[in-house]
Amino acid sequence: MKKKIAIVGLGLIGGSFARAFKKYTDYTVIGFNRTQSTAEKALADGAIDAIGTPEDLKEVDIVLLSMYPKVSCDFVEKHMEAFKPGCIITDDCGIKSYLVERLTPLCQAHGLYFVGGHPMAGREVSGYKASDADLYRGASMLLVPTEASTPEIVKQVKAMFSQIGFGQLVITTPEHHDRMIAYTSQLCHVVSSAYIKSPSELEHKGYSGGSYRDLTRVAYLNETMWTELFIENKQALVPEIDEIIHHLTEYRDAIAAEDEQTLFRLLKEGRQRKEQFG
Amino acid sequence: MKKKIAIVGLGLIGGSFARAFKKYTDYTVIGFNRTQSTAEKALADGAIDAIGTPEDLKEVDIVLLSMYPKVSCDFVEKHMEAFKPGCIITDDCGIKSYLVERLTPLCQAHGLYFVGGHPMAGREVSGYKASDADLYRGASMLLVPTEASTPEIVKQVKAMFSQIGFGQLVITTPEHHDRMIAYTSQLCHVVSSAYIKSPSELEHKGYSGGSYRDLTRVAYLNETMWTELFIENKQALVPEIDEIIHHLTEYRDAIAAEDEQTLFRLLKEGRQRKEQFG
Q: Which ipTM value was assigned to this complex?
A: 0.90
Average pLDDT over residues B31-53: 97
Cα distance from B79 to chain A (closest Cα, Å)?
A: 28
Q: What is the pLDDT of residue B5?
A: 98
Q: Provide the CATH number for the domain formed by B4-172 in this structure.
A: 3.40.50.720
CB-nearest partner of B258 from A188, A231, A240: A231
pLDDT tens for each residue of A236-263: 999 999 999 999 999 999 999 999 999 9
As a residue count, chain A comes to: 278
CB-CB contact of A169 with A115 (8 Å): no
What are residue A96's phi and psi, to 5 degrees?
-120, -35
Counted across chains A and B, CB pairs separated by less than 8 A come out at 312
For the cut 90, the answer to whether the pLDDT of residue A3 exceeds it is yes
Contact A186, A233 (CB under 8 A): yes
Give A125's pLDDT tier (boundaries 50, 70, 90): confident
Q: How far is B64 from chain A (nearest CA, A)?
A: 20
Whole-angstrom distance between the N-terminal and C-terminal Cα of chain A? 45
Buried b or exposed e, range B23-61, using 16+ CB within 10 angstroms: ebeebbbbbbbeeeebbebbeeeebbbebbeeeebeebb
Query: Which contacts qualify for A124-130: CB closer than 8 Å, 24 or more apart?
Result: A124/A217, A124/A218, A124/A220, A124/A221, A125/A12, A126/A11, A126/A12, A126/A222, A127/A11, A127/A12, A127/A15, A128/A10, A128/A11, A128/A12, A128/A14, A128/A15, A128/A33, A128/A38, A128/A41, A128/A42, A128/A47, A130/A12, A130/A15
Q: A209 and B120: CB-CB below 8 Å?
A: yes
Tell me if B273 and A196 make a contact (CB, 8 A cut-off).
yes
Minimal C-alpha gap between B196 and chain A (Å):
7
Q: Which of A171, A223, A262 to mutate to test the interface with B (most CBs of B within 10 A)?
A: A223
What would the mean pLDDT of A222-227 be, rounded to a whole number?
A: 95
Contact residues on chain B for A258, CB-CB shorter than 8 A = 231, 234
In CATH terms, is domain A177-277 a member of 1.10.760.10?
A: no
Judged against a pLDDT cut of 90, whether residue B122 lies above it is answered with no
- pLDDT of res. B121: 87
Q: Which of B198, B220, B263 to mutate to test the interface with A (most CBs of A within 10 A)?
A: B198
In the prediction, which pLDDT does A122 show? Answer: 79
Residue B124 has pLDDT above 90, yes or no: no
How far apart are the C-alpha atoms of A22 and A18, rounded to whole Å? 6
Give me the pLDDT at residue B278, please.
Answer: 74
Per-residue pLDDT, B16: 98
Mean pLDDT of A175-201: 97
Contact residues on chain B for A216, CB-CB shorter than 8 A: 274, 278
Domains of chain A, residue spans: 4-172, 177-277
- Is residue B247 pLDDT above 90, yes or no? yes
List of chain A residues whose C-beta atoms are within 8 Å of the C-beta of residue B250: 194
* Contact yes or no for A182 and B200 at CB 8 A: yes
Q: Which of A203-207, A214-218, B102-106 has the lowest mean pLDDT?
A: A203-207
Arithmetic mean of pLDDT over chain B: 96
Give the pLDDT band of residue B206 (cuts 50, 70, 90).
confident
Inter-chain contact A214–B256, Cβ cutoff 8 Å? Answer: no
CB contact under 8 A, A184 and B242: no
What share of chain A in percent tops pLDDT 70?
100
Q: Is the pLDDT of residue A1 over 90?
A: no
pLDDT digits (tens, 9 = 90+) for A12-31: 999 999 999 999 999 999 99
Assess whether pLDDT exceeds 90 at residue A113: yes
Q: Give me the percent of chain B exceeding a pLDDT of 90.
A: 95
